[in-house]
Amino acid sequence: MRYEGRDLRPDAAHARSHTQTNRTRMTRILVTSALPYINGIKHLGNLVGSQLPSDAYARVMRQRGHEVLLICATDEHGTPTELAAAKAGKSPAEFCDEMHEVQAEIARGFRLSFDHFGRSSSRRNHRLTQHLAGRLADAGLIAEVTEKQIWSPADGRFLPDRYVEGTCPNCGYEKARGDQCENCTKQLDPTDLINPYSAISGSTDLEVRETKHLHLRQSAMRDRLSAWIESKTDWPVLTTSIAKKWLNDGDGLQDRGITRDLDWGIPVRRGEADWPGMDGKVFYVWFDAPIAYIAATAEWADATGQDDAAWQRWWRDDKGAEDVRYVEFMGKDNVPFHTLGFPVTLMGASADGDERWHLVDFIKSTNWLNYEGGKFSTSSGRGVFMDQALDILPPDYWRWWLLANIPESADTDFTWESFQAGVNKDLADVLGNFVSRVTKFCRARFGEEVPRGGAYGEMEAEVTAEIAERLKAYEAHWDAIAIRRAAAELRAIWVAGNEYLQRAEPWAVFKTDPERAAAIIRFSLNLVRLYGILSRPFVPDASDTILESLGLDPEVASKDWPKDVGEALSALSAGHAFTVPEVLFAKITDEAREEMAARFAGA
């Protein structure tokens, strides 16, 4: 079976064609999600840090008429893969084949609408990484450096960065890796660690020996990189602060090794030629992983029967990508690589002008999602991981809470009480309750079709005006990628319908003025339709259920983004048939909450 990549969009045919919607396309938007490591199933913090918000943003931009390409892939190289594969008793290739399918299935489960979910180990990424390395060498941005590296007699090999663990010299964290401290995010070399030991054997009998590696001369690009970062005045503070820290702290931007002594990875070559002295070495994962965004786009073109021009128009300014808006989503630990290393790679590869690679336009970075006051932990079973989440509750529950509480400006704490409240109060009591009350009342009094009679009045005009203003704010928040604010605005739009229903009281009005009650319910059913459209980026399954209950094709109806709210609230005319949907959201009981909290509390 071929696992090199796949389209995870619910409507694959649409994903392949990228045909025009009913609205004029205004922008081509390339969206990438930070690549999930292949070494295991990720927790909810990984989901909300990149994959989920990239999906929601891509969804809303597609609905609003933009041409969108959403790309992701599994990050399959580096020491974590070798360690995880060895632990599983498999070769790295076998392990990656298996885990790519696992992660692709989980992505489908959360309704992540990737146009292509590729692999950093693909042939395309091999060729493209080697090509860009050759371009950088031609531009004088690759240096061959003899450096000191950790040798483990017990393991009989050099130990690349992540094969060495120890105490961080910056913050004192005792389980820092040789490439980066996950506690303070400082980038490290294995020789920086205090009390280092082998992550393979645990041996502390380590030596420092000389070996030759390639370094990317980031320092040579510092001024150009700094000017580029300074020009990004709309970036989140989190993104720019991290980028400037690495540019300016200490001795400033440092050159960085891009090769490692590993068996699993992309062999070091200079384009199609051998690289003398680099036999047996592979490119470092941080160098090839971002390039996999481009390679996965090329794989998308391959998989959909298109030529190289199809992917180059998204990535190369000399091939038509100048009008693309490129947006990246990632957790804050990935920011240094995407504001420094990857841009240097693309800038350097564009040096002579015959290839001009498109740099990122906006980087949406997030802080950490913690779990009940602490960290998620695989080893102790603390916290909810993505496969477990799908086993216990529908994806919409997780999508709503995570996006409504995304850690944009500060770390966020997942608690079961907050999660229960988000599901019960927002989804069940506000959105679900409105849909249920309106459709059931209509069925009981008028039958299963939009009722005739009566006319909209002042009350409907007020609600229309309020929603029109809120819709403008909702769109503006999405344009700014302020996702928590977008979620709050959507909830307020739901609330407006509930408050209208309470004021209009169709159940009371029906007794004396059935035609006025019919107008209220007709307006309310159109609100239901509107909610189905606007809610799809957050709760796609519920949105589809709502639209299908109204006799609409969700793929078609969801793209009827309202240009005029007044027209949108008259879209369903009298006589239009509908059915009463099943309960959209079942409430989480206190007993169920307590059981889940105990189950995932950890050892």
Annotated binding site: 168, 171, 181, 184, 378
Q: How far is CA 437 from the centre of its chain?
A: 35
Q: Cβ contacts of residue 444 below 8 Å, gap of 6+?
A: none
Compute how many other C-beta atoms are within 10 angstroms of the C-beta atom of residue 412: 20
Torsions phi, psi for 374 (to 5 deg) = -140, -165
Q: Residue-wise over 16-36: b if at least 16 C-beta within 10 A, else e?
A: bebeebeeeeeebbbbbbbbb
Cα–Cα distance measured from residue 333 to residue 117, given in angstroms and rounded to the nearest whole number? 22
The DSSP code for 536 is T
Q: Kindly write down the DSSP assignment for every residue of 343-373, as one continuous string.
A: HHHHHHHTTTSSS-BPPPSEEEEE-PEEETT
Q: Are 204 and 196 in contact (CB under 8 A)?
A: yes
Cα–Cα distance measured from residue 264 to residue 282, given in angstroms and rounded to the nearest whole number? 7
Binding residue ranges for ATP: 378
Cα–Cα distance measured from residue 444 to residue 461, given in angstroms and rounded to the nearest whole number? 26
The position carrying tokens 């059931």 is 440
Q: Cβ contacts of residue 335 below 8 Å, gap of 6+?
A: 238, 239, 242, 243, 363, 365
The DSSP code for 264 is S
The DSSP code for 304 is T
Compute how many other C-beta atoms are within 10 angstroms of the C-beta atom of residue 361: 15
Q: Are 331 and 50 in contact (CB under 8 A)?
A: yes
In terms of Cα–Cα distance, which of 209, 212, 216, 285 is closest to 257? 216
Cα–Cα distance measured from residue 357 to residue 351, given in angstroms and rounded to the nearest whole number? 10
Cα–Cα distance measured from residue 99 to residue 535, given in angstroms and rounded to the nearest whole number? 31
The DSSP code for 220 is G
The first and second tokens of residue 444, run together, are 């009981």
Torsions phi, psi for 242 (to 5 deg) = -65, -45
Q: Could you tell me the CA-to-CA distances from 323 to 94, 128, 311, 316, 362 in Å, in that order?
A: 40, 23, 14, 10, 14
What type of residue is 222? R
What stretch of H or E contains 464?
A: helix 458-479
Cα–Cα distance measured from residue 382 to residue 227, given in angstroms and rounded to the nearest whole number? 43
Q: Kindly write down the DSSP assignment for every residue of 549-603, as one continuous string.
A: HTT--HHHHTT---SSHHHHTT-S-TT-B--PPPPS-PPPPHHHHHHHHHHTB--
Binding residue ranges for Zn(2+): 168, 171, 181, 184
In terms of Cα–Cα distance, which of 365, 301, 295, 305 is closest to 76? 295
Cα–Cα distance measured from residue 48 to residue 398, given in angstroms and rounded to the nearest whole number? 10
What stretch of H or E contains 532?
A: helix 514-534
Q: Are 198 and 236 in contact (CB under 8 A)?
A: no
